[in-house]
């Protein structure tokens, strides 16, 4: 199965799994998706991720995090840049998400990083997604 936008597919699968109350979600693996998962783990939006061998291309398994009331920790995932309309931001224009309560994921020349890391490094890039 081919996708036009693998990052949008990743975010949609996470969003759907959270709404359905699933503890984990399996996604076709790629290096970019692994990096997005790493950023989500570092910022405590998901518990962990594992790359599993399925005999073909591999599977990225994400373990979702929920509050004590049973609601997903990730309340919203928004794809900002798309293949048809790329959204680039300069070092001075990196957005704050929900006054710092959420994160923006940027693809920079130094790899994937959050809005806080990009501001600290004074670097801009492609605004991939926002999470809160």
77-131 is classed CATH 3.30.1490.10: yes
Give dist(CA 107, CA 25) in Å, integer: 23
- DSSP state, residue 91: G
Residue by residue, pLDDT tens for the chain (132 residues) are 556 899 999 999 999 999 999 999 999 999 999 999 999 999 999 999 999 999 999 999 999 999 999 999 999 999 999 999 999 999 999 999 999 999 999 999 999 999 999 999 999 999 999 999
Single pTM value for the model: 0.94
Distance of CA 113 to the CA centre of its chain: 10
Strands (E), the chain: 24-28, 46-52, 59-64, 77-79, 88-89, 103-108, 111-114, 125-131
Of the candidate CATH numbers 3.30.70.1560, 3.30.1370.30, 3.30.43.10, 3.40.50.12160, the domain formed by 6-64 belongs to: 3.30.1370.30
């Amino acid at each position: 199965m081919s996708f036009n936008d693998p990052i949008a597919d990743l975010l949609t699968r996470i969003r759907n799994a959270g709404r359905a109350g699933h503890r984990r979600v399996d996604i076709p693996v790629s290096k970019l998706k692994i990096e997005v998962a790493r950023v989500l783990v570092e910022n405590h939006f998901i518990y962990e991720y594992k790359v599993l061998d399925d005999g073909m291309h591999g599977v990225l398994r994400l373990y979702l995090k929920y509050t004590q009331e049973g609601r997903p920790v990730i309340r919203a995932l928004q794809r900002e840049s798309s293949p048809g309309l790329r959204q680039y931001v300069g070092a001075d224009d990196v957005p704050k998400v929900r006054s710092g309560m959420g994160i923006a994921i940027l693809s920079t020349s130094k790899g994937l990083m959050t809005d806080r890391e990009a501001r600290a490094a004074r670097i801009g890039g492609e605004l991939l997604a926002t999470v809160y």
